[in-house]
Amino acid sequence: MIDPFGRTVDYLRVSVTDRCDFRCVYCMAEDMTFLPKRDLLTLEELDRLCTAFIDKGVRKLRLTGGEPLVRKNIMSLIRNLSRHLNSGALDELTLTTNGSQLAKYAGELADCGVRRINVSIDTLDREKFKKITRWGQLGKVMEGLDAARKAGLAVKINAVALKDVNEFEIPDMMRWAHGEGFDLTLIETMPLGEIDEDRTDQYLPLSLVRRRLEEDFTLTEIPYKTGGPARYVEVAETGGRLGFITPLTHNFCESCNRVRVTCTGTLFMCLGQEDAADLRAPLRASESNELLSQAIDEAIGRKPKGHDFVIDRRGGKAAVGRHMSMTGG
Ligand code: SAM
Ligand code: SF4
């Protein structure tokens, strides 16, 4: 799949549910209304959809959400999808998780051929963790990380940089992550969906975080790539890798290789644009994949050049109405 700007699309992110057992302040409102179950693709439909994309050249598949591991029977989908790893059609099957269910599933994930996972943790302080996630428990996530290590899964920690919240904790988090053998990637908050708070209060530019880190650490740019938009540095003092995802201070759209499907089968060609294509109707219209394949081609043919995230100019308002939990991180 090649888009109008010559970019090869070989990375698919699939949100398998919009539900979550956390309510992170930058991601959701506390009283979120979730989609009615009948609107969701079944696990069989999700498998068919992913397989259609793999047939079209997707080499990397990431399951996300909401929280992917709270979807009922999710392991049956993952086990089925692992056939594409075994056949060599897929290079990587991975997921982004809040870690709450990882203690239960880490072993089985490894058994299904998952090699690396992203776990989101924004703070190592139990109280702060509770404040940020509203419903989460850091202890459970730490148990999950232990299980992941025992299962041999490589872990990357994702942390959203939040002004006044974890702003001054970032060096400690980095020392901890690197000490545990985990990569750490910092993410700028993106204006996605209405939340209960003002986003301008949360936004912390990573350019500032990096300048501060450079006062105490030696950061060397490295060409390491994971298929995502992070740019990596190596930290001499810790020997670990630190990634920066900077949709606001540095637009990374020129090398974008991915598209996203929601749990209702809506294909978003760009995280920061409203344009989308419905894949559920062609998926359900026939048992063959012809209509589905056509709909995918048409959508890739209009993948936009990039997003337009600007937090200060929007006065903290959302750039697009949908939440990250719907499109998937
Ligand atoms: N529930 C899983 C988790 O938290 O890892 C997967 C889905 S979550 C939407 C994926 C990632 O998006 C998480 O790392 C989360 O911190 C991040 N995220 C959510 N809302 C965001 C926002 N408005 N700006 C930047 N990152 C956001
Ligand atoms: Fe749930 Fe992940 Fe959103 Fe937090 S960031 S509310 S864990 S979907």
CA of 286 to the centre of ligand 1 (A): 34
Q: Considering the chain, what is the average pLDDT of its residues?
A: 91
pTM above 0.85, yes or no: yes
Distances (CA, A) of 96 to 220, 287, 288, 301: 26, 30, 30, 27
- 252 confidence band (pLDDT: 50, 70, 90): confident
CA of 73 to the centre of ligand 2 (A): 19
User: All domains of the chain, ordered by start, with CATH?
Assistant: 11-327 (3.20.20.70)
State if residue 28 touches ligand 2 by the CB under 6 angstroms criterion: yes
| Across 212-232, average pLDDT | 91
Distances (CA, A) of 145 to 63, 71, 118, 159: 18, 20, 10, 15
Chain centroid to Cα 130, Å, comes to 21
Q: What is the pLDDT of residues 165-189, one digit of tens each?
A: 999 999 999 999 999 999 999 998 8
Task: Name the amino acid, one letter, at 237.
Answer: E
> Which atom of ligand 2 is found nearest the CA of 136?
7
